[in-house]
Amino acid sequence: MQRFEPVVEVKTLIDAPAEKVWETVTHDTGVMFMGAKVDTDWVEGHPITFAGEWKGKKYEDHGEIQRVDRQKRVSFTHFSGMSGKEDRPENYNLVTLELTPRDGATEVKLTQASAKGDIEASKKAEFEKNWQMMLGKLKEAVEQ
């Protein structure tokens, strides 16, 4: 099993039960993933792909579902060709979403970990900004 080092962790509180948050994350995926078309069946060991456009460039990222605990946690590996790196295990990230009930609301914690712990500070800040924006879109969609 590949070892991943935490890079970024962001959180938000969504005024909805975990079941509703989970449904949005796993069925209305374009909301959270910036309009990307996400293709997966959310089964451990199965592929996940993300296709869309980012900053005017088309992309297709991919990975594998690592863990699914319904309405609690999902994690998947992620590789982006836009990174300019080779498609090799050490260039993948591990993204984990954890849902924790909080008095009728749900805390959503997103962690991005890297197989390489040497991510520069500016990249970490960019990742954090992007993930926080994505959680904001998720919050907005679920609370409507």
Read off the tokens for 82.
């836009």
Cα separation, 40 vs 73, whole angstroms: 16
The confidence score (pLDDT) of residue 112 equals 94
pTM of the model as a whole: 0.91
Query: CA-to-CA distance for 101 and 110, rounded, in angstroms?
Result: 15
Query: Could you tell me the residue ranges of all domains in the chain?
Result: 5-143
CATH number for 5-143: choose from 3.50.50.60, 3.30.530.20, 3.30.70.2660, 3.40.50.300: 3.30.530.20
Backbone φ, ψ for residue 43 (5° rounding): -110, 130
Locate tokens 């579902």: which residue?
Answer: 65
Residue/partner pairs of 71-78 with CB below 8 Å, 24 or more apart: 71/18, 71/19, 71/22, 71/99, 72/18, 72/98, 72/99, 73/97, 73/98, 73/99, 74/25, 74/26, 74/42, 76/40, 76/48, 78/48, 78/50
**In this predicted model, what pLDDT tens digit does every residue of 70-86 receive, in sequence order?**
999 999 999 988 888 89
The predicted-structure confidence for 55-113, as pLDDT tens digits, reads as follows: 788 989 999 999 999 999 999 999 988 888 899 988 999 999 999 999 999 999 999 99
pLDDT, tens digit, 9 for 90 and up, residues 15-31: 999 999 999 999 988 88
Q: What are phi and psi of 104, to 5 degrees?
A: 85, -15
pLDDT score recorded for residue 53: 85
Q: How far apart are CA 97 and CA 21, in angstroms?
A: 11
What phi-psi label fits residue 31: left (phi over 0), alpha (psi between -120 and 50 degrees) or beta?
alpha
